[in-house]
Amino acid sequence: MSALAIIDHAALAHNVGVLSARVAPAEVMLAVKADAYGHGMHEIASTALASGASSLAVLEIPAAVALRESGVDCQLFAWLHGVGSDFESAVSHRIDLGVSALWQLERIARASSRETPGRVHLKIDTGLHRNGALPEQWPELVTAARSLAERGLVTIEGIWSHLADASPDDDAHAVDAYAAALAIADELGVRPTMRHLAASSAGWREPRARYDAVRFGIAAYGISPFDDVTGQGMGLRAVMTLQCAVSTDEAPAGRRWITAGYADGVPLGARDAEVSIGGERCAVDSVELARTLTVVPDSIDDEAIVTVFGEPGTGVPSAEDWARWSGTIGDEIVTGVPRRVERRHDRVLSAPTTS
Ligand SMILES: *Cc1c(COP(=O)(O)O)cnc(C)c1O
């Protein structure tokens, strides 16, 4: 075995349940961008939908189309578009599209017909400055969408924005800016059923930001978006466990190589990092491309399972521990496990059917 990423679908189902209960009656839109933060988009999508998520969000149209073509029937939201984006494909696959600018609206309208109208979610910039209509452009965007809707070419499904999560103060400001944009749209006669603003952080902590749906990403994978509380502290479970084996490569006394390196997602440049080998915490000495040198007691046998990260509270390091040791966020630890590492999906056992 080189490295293996075990994806625990019972943990994912648990997390989706916790998040749904927390934000109800708002719905959970699960962010499965970046191949579901490295966990596997298609597999995560099916368990999330079976566990209470009502819609899915990706970055770009092709990922949404891939989900639709695999048989996913729920609302699919994609918001990152460039001049080369295939709006025809998006419209024909009933993809909900984030719209930040008039040019996008025009392209979507051209791809639409009365039989198959484009489904749009208008985006207001509430301070993140990472696209979204600026407040001075907002009435024009809303008015343009309304006239396309009156012609039957689009349906205005949503109004949305994204919070910077820089500080609670910034978020409060952004919620106010969002409410102001909704009020302007309302005056212009546009009242969509899907108002969505928050991701994991504000969705968890700020009831005012929940509206009709919360776009949860990282928290669903069991990782906290906060500095002051862990995923475990939020009652969440780790979804990904990264394992490998003890290597037979010769190592200096008191050291052993393990069979995963930075090409398998072991972060390079972490300080004071540890792995669990046969249930014991062992310090990481140095990380190479495909192996890592660890400080190991002689008692460890060659068959011992090595856990780089996994479920906190079971004695193994967590992805959040690695994030701290590496000066990054847990998102980067799990998303950084490359595709070449095999995923093993441990699925929830389906309930026995009675008839
Ligand atoms: C990534 C993303 C999310 C999910 O964010 P988390 O912080 O991982 O919960 C939600 N909305 C948008 C627009 C995103 O880009």
Q: Is the pLDDT assigned to residue 355 strictly greater than 50? A: no
Q: How far is the CA of 108 from the centre of ligand 1 (A)?
A: 23
Confidence at residue 34, expressed as pLDDT on a 0 to 100 scale: 97
Between strands 154-160 and 118-123, the pairing is parallel
Tell me the average pLDDT of the chain.
Answer: 95
| pLDDT category of residue 301 using cuts at 50, 70 and 90 | confident
Phi, psi of 36 (to 5 degrees): 55, 55
Please state the pTM of the whole predicted model: 0.95
pLDDT over 70 percentage in the chain: 98
Rounded to the nearest angstrom, the gap between the alpha carbon of residue 157 and the centroid of all alpha carbons in its chain is 22
Say if ligand 1 is within 6 A of residue 200 CB: yes
Between strands 4-8 and 240-245, the pairing is antiparallel
Q: Is the pLDDT assigned to residue 328 strictly greater than 70? A: yes
Q: Count CA atoms closer than 13 A to 156's CA, side-chain side.
A: 25
Residue in the block written with tokens 């441990």: 346
First-last CA distance in the chain = 43
Question: Strand order of the sheet with strand 274-277?
Answer: 255-258, 292-295, 280-287, 274-277, 305-309, 240-245, 4-8, 342-346
Q: Can you tell me the mean pLDDT for 10-30? A: 98
Q: Judge contact between 65 and 93, C-beta under 8 A.
A: yes
pLDDT tens-digit series, residues 61-118: 999 999 999 999 999 999 999 999 999 999 999 999 999 999 999 999 999 999 999 9
162 CA: nearest ligand 1 atom: 13
Distance between CA atoms of 315 and 333, rounded to whole angstroms? Answer: 18
Confidence at residue 351, expressed as pLDDT on a 0 to 100 scale: 52
Confidence at residue 129, expressed as pLDDT on a 0 to 100 scale: 76
Which domains, ranges and CATH numbers included, belong to the chain?
A: 9-222 (3.20.20.10), 240-346 (2.40.37.10)
Mutational pocket test of ligand 1: of 79, 81, 162, 163, the residue with most ligand atoms within 8 Å of the beta carbon: 162
225 CA: nearest ligand 1 atom: 7
Distance between CA atoms of 32 and 216, rounded to whole angstroms? Answer: 9
pLDDT tens-digit series, residues 24-72: 999 999 999 999 999 999 999 999 999 999 999 999 999 999 999 999 9
Which residue's C-alpha comes closest to atom 6 of ligand 1?
Answer: 217
pLDDT tens-digit series, residues 236-260: 999 999 999 999 999 999 999 999 9
Phi, psi of 204 (to 5 degrees): -75, -40
pLDDT tens-digit series, residues 198-242: 999 999 999 999 999 999 999 999 999 999 999 999 999 999 999
E strands, the chain, where?
Answer: 4-8, 27-31, 55-58, 75-78, 96-99, 118-123, 154-160, 194-196, 213-216, 240-245, 255-258, 274-277, 280-287, 292-295, 305-309, 342-346
29 CA: nearest ligand 1 atom: 10
Q: Can you tell me the mean pLDDT for 276-281? A: 94
Phi, psi of 30 (to 5 degrees): -90, 125
For residue 220, what are its two tokens? 């669903």
Phi, psi of 242 (to 5 degrees): -105, 120
Distance between CA atoms of 213 and 57, rounded to whole angstroms? Answer: 12
Confidence at residue 350, expressed as pLDDT on a 0 to 100 scale: 58
Say if ligand 1 is within 6 A of residue 19 CB: no
Say if ligand 1 is within 6 A of residue 162 CB: yes
160 CA: nearest ligand 1 atom: 13
Q: How far is the CA of 287 from the centre of ligand 1 (A)?
A: 31
pLDDT tens-digit series, residues 185-195: 999 999 999 99
